[in-house]
Structure formats: C-alpha cells, structure tokens
C-alpha cells in the first residue's frame, strides 16, 4: 500500500480542519468587538481569541511548509497548500483587527454620546464579507468569492467619506478619532476578505491572485 498519498490526504484534512476552526473563531472575534462598540462594552474576550488565532496560524504555516518539503505536491494539492498560507493569515488578521477595535474602546472609554450608526452599518457590511469569505472557502464556492470585491469597494468608500466628514466638520474629537480608527480597521478586514476570496478562486481554478 502506498502510504504517501494516504499521509498527504491526512495532512490536507488536518489543514482544512484548522482553517475552519480559524474561520469560526475569527468571525466570533470580530462580532465580539463590534458588539462591544455598539453597546458600549470593552470586548475583553477578544484578546484571548486573537492569541488563539495566532497560535492556529502558526500551526497552519508549519504544517503547510512541512507537507510541501516532505511530499513535494503538485497541481491541485500544491495550490491548496499555497492558498492555505494566505487564507490562514487572513483569518489571523481578522482577529488582530478585532483586537485593535477592542483596544480603541479601552483607549477612548465611553463612546455612548457618539453617533455610532455609520460605523455600525459599515461593520455589518464587513461582517457579511467575512461570512462570505468563510463560506466561499468551506464550499470552494468561486461565484461567492467573486462577489466580495464589490462589497470591499463599499467599505472603502465608507472610510473615505468618514475622513472627509471629519475634516469638514467640527465635531467631538474623541468621537471622530475613534470612528476613524475603527473604520480603518474594518477597511483592512474587508481587504483580507477579498484576499481570501481570491485564494478560493486560486484553489479551484489555478488563476493566480492579482499582485
């Protein structure tokens, strides 16, 4: 019996399982940070989630590189392993930016008097992008992955509009700065959702993501 293909398959299954664990945890981290912002909380649990995501990302990276070195995979298997590194990093960054949002809440304190509607609406759009990136990966759904960049354009526009508004209006400085920082982190999360979508397409079609 040829043990190498069997061992390779076991490694691929392990990687897929680790990435799905990261997907779930990263969604929870971002949701917790946005919920804390919406309701005036602190998001204390986000740090633990971010730390766990970092550990999982290292496991994915180590296992991917070990499998490339040991089995010298080609074609679909090699594409999957290469994409795992990008997707894992994206899930890790979801957690890192969720932590950044939680740290904004710690830094600025009570934001209950701020108008948070615009930020929360942008956050919901970003969370939808996260959900789609996770589902696209889990299902290898290229059509869903291709819808994500258009949503990224909306988040980018929200960030730019808020910057313009802050420069033109003389509002509460704490509210302006906190919303701008959080929108910036949401914009970066949206970028990583787009990268993950591109990696899903790469796994399925072999088309390299844009440089």
On the 0-12 / 13-18 / 19+ scale of CB atoms within 10 A, 88 is buried
Residue 20 near residue 65, CB atoms below 8 Å: no
Residue 52 near residue 116, CB atoms below 8 Å: no
Closest by CA to 69, choosing from 80, 79, 81, is 81
**From CA 206, how far away is CA 201, in angstroms rounded?**
7
Average pLDDT for 42-46 = 87
**In degrees, to the nearest 5, what angle opens at C-alpha 69 toward C-alphas 66 and 74?**
110
pLDDT at 128 (0 to 100): 96
Q: Write the DSSP symbol of residue 59.
A: H
Average pLDDT for 125-137 = 96
Tell me the domains of the chain and their CATH numbers.
Answer: 3-205 (1.20.58.220)
**From CA 157, how far away is CA 122, in angstroms rounded?**
10
**From CA 145, how far away is CA 201, in angstroms rounded?**
7
**From CA 133, how far away is CA 69, in angstroms rounded?**
28
pLDDT at 1 (0 to 100): 44
Residue 123 near residue 186, CB atoms below 8 Å: yes
Q: Is the pLDDT of residue 208 over 90?
A: no
Residue 162 near residue 180, CB atoms below 8 Å: yes
Angle between helices 142-168 and 117-139 (to 10 degrees): 160
Residue 28 near residue 91, CB atoms below 8 Å: no
Least confident of 55-69, 154-168, 177-191: 154-168
């Amino acid at each position: 019996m040829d043990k190498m293909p069997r061992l390779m398959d076991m490694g691929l299954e392990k990687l897929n399982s680790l990435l799905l664990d990261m997907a779930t945890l990263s969604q929870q981290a971002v949701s917790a940070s946005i919920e804390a912002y919406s309701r005036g909380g602190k998001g204390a649990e986000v740090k633990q989630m971010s730390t766990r995501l970092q550990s999982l990302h290292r496991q994915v990276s180590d296992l991917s590189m070990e499998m490339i070195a040991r089995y010298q995979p080609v074609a679909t298997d090699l594409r999957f392993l290469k994409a795992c590194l990008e997707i894992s990093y994206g899930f890790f960054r979801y957690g890192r930016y969720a932590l950044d949002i939680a740290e904004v809440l710690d830094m600025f304190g009570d934001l209950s008097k701020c108008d948070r509607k615009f930020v929360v609406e942008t956050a919901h759009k970003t969370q939808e992008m996260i959900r789609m990136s996770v589902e696209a990966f889990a299902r290898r759904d290229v059509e869903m992955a291709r819808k994500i960049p258009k949503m990224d354009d909306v988040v980018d526009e929200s960030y730019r509009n808020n910057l313009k508004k802050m420069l033109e209006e003389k509002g509460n400085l704490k509210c302006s700065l906190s919303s701008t920082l959080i929108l910036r982190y949401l914009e970066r999360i949206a970028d990583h959702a787009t990268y993950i979508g591109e990696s899903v397409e790469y796994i399925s079609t072999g088309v390299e993501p844009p440089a």
